[in-house]
Copies of this chain bind each other. A is one copy, B any other.
Amino acid sequence: MAHQFATRATLSCVMAFLLAISATAQTMNADRTWTFSYRPATDVDKVVLETSFGGKEKMQKTADGAWTYTTPDTLASDMYTYRFIIGKRNVLDPLNAQVVRDIDDTLNYFFVPGPLAALYQEQRVAHGKVEQLWYPSSFDADMKQRRLSVYTPAEYAQNSQKRYPVLYLLHGTGGDEVAWLDMGRLAQIMDNMIASGKAKPMIVVMPNGIADLDAAPGQSPYMQGKASHMNMSSWMGRTEAAFPKEVMPFIEKNYRTITDKPHRAIAGLSMGGMHTMAISANNPDLFDYVGLFSPQAISPLTDKNIRRIKRVTKVDSKIRGFANKVASFIQGTPTDVTEQTMDIDIYADMEGKLQKQFAQSPRLYYIAIGKKDPLLTFVNSFRKKVSAAGGTYLYKETDGGHSWDNWRRYLIDFLPRIF
């Protein structure tokens, strides 16, 4: 114990300035390709680089003992995540202090300079405030409070009488109230787009949408010792049913919001897109702006929906490796799903609800999805449903798949269109 403390002391605080001798693991070359390098402390047979832009690549051992990988091409301006893999276990880059959690993965990230990355990084503009706080909740008997994040624009503090429109921004399965802030770079995007006039000053509210959890890992006693905070509970309608009763009144009471339909937007990614769809359809008078980013568009976990999910995972050759495990897991799941834990009404008669929603002419119903997204098939069915309900929607089909680079881009595309 003493030894440990003394060593950590030295390393942590007094003397470890040697760590400050800076180096970077990702370097842009003269031809604008990027070279990643990693130097294991002991001999290893193989080092793999896994990135958000190129999958898994074997690194090459160099004469001086470092392993390197150079991209075959330049990288477009963006935020990218990566990690090293040794013996199939993930290793963070000791030369990059920028680490982000994506669901239950911990990844390094970096920015390739350019117009897109500039939106994701702090610029010399006025910065808004980010808050984490708890609101009273009663839909789960055990949890009396749930945590949410709120972004208020820089000018909010200066204009103590002014009221603002609100965007409710929802995360995906396994996400939480900080997902849009961490992987989504929400605060930076808002600061930069508000400063340039591309987005109106607005409040952005990011609740935790996992019904059986109240907060992100480390902030919730329900997370202790758990491997994952991915949780089927949020496909059951309870989060969606509670949203207008709990989240919205709390926000409208505690923030200077404009509380009418033209000044409320809701958007979400993946499962959050499904929640967005359900919440807005069940409450057709609440939101004038609705954004579905790569929405799951399939819920709750009825037998029929489970069969559809299984079918899609099987037809996609890229993900066949997962299919059996997933199928067998899903097969076992409905035993946990009782009527008691579901709020089926939320998803009942969706056609009729969509009709009512579109009869009230929301100003924007926005759907975006990547061409490679396995959910594309569900989104295509859903778009037909929207049309059948007399709805008009703005549709954006992009490159790429079910990933944060797209979700950040959809947000950037969505923001100038609201309020």
Contacts and interface: CB of A to CB of B under 8 A. Distances in A.
Interface of A: 1-24, 26, 40-44, 51-56, 86-92, 94-104, 106, 109-111, 121-124, 127-134, 144-145, 147, 157, 172-174, 182, 214-215, 217-221, 223-232, 254, 270-271, 296, 309, 312-313, 316, 318-319, 322, 325-326, 329-330, 333, 370, 372-375, 400-403
Nearest to A5: B401
Nearest to A370: B5
Nearest to A191: B134
In order of increasing CB-CB distance, the 4 nearest A-B pairs are A5-B401, A9-B402, A41-B88, A4-B55
B174 A2 contact: no
Contact of A329 (B17, B90, B219, B231): B17
Given A97-B228, A129-B132, 11 more contacts: A4-B56, A10-B319, A12-B102, A13-B296, A15-B309, A18-B329, A40-B87, A43-B87, A121-B224, A123-B221, A127-B147
Q: Which of A7, A21, A220, A326 has the most CB of B within 10 A?
A: A7
A92 B95 contact: no
Contact of A19 (B14, B110, B145, B228): B228
Contacts of A23: 227
Given A40-B87, A123-B221, A127-B133, A230 B19 contact: yes
B318 A104 contact: no
Contacts of A26: 225
Given A2-B401, A230-B19, A106 B99 contact: yes
Contact of A106 (B1, B56, B106, B133): B106
B322 A16 contact: yes
A139 to B, nearest CB: 16
A313 B89 CA distance: 35
Contacts of A182: 218
Contact of A228 (B20, B124, B144): B20
Nearest to A330: B17
30 contacts: A1-B400, A2-B318, A3-B55, A4-B51, A4-B52, A5-B372, A5-B373, A5-B403, A6-B374, A8-B401, A9-B374, A10-B322, A12-B174, A12-B402, A13-B103, A13-B174, A14-B313, A17-B232, A18-B322, A19-B174, A24-B225, A40-B89, A41-B88, A86-B87, A97-B226, A100-B218, A127-B133, A127-B134, A127-B147, A131-B132
Contact of A97 (B17, B122, B223): B223
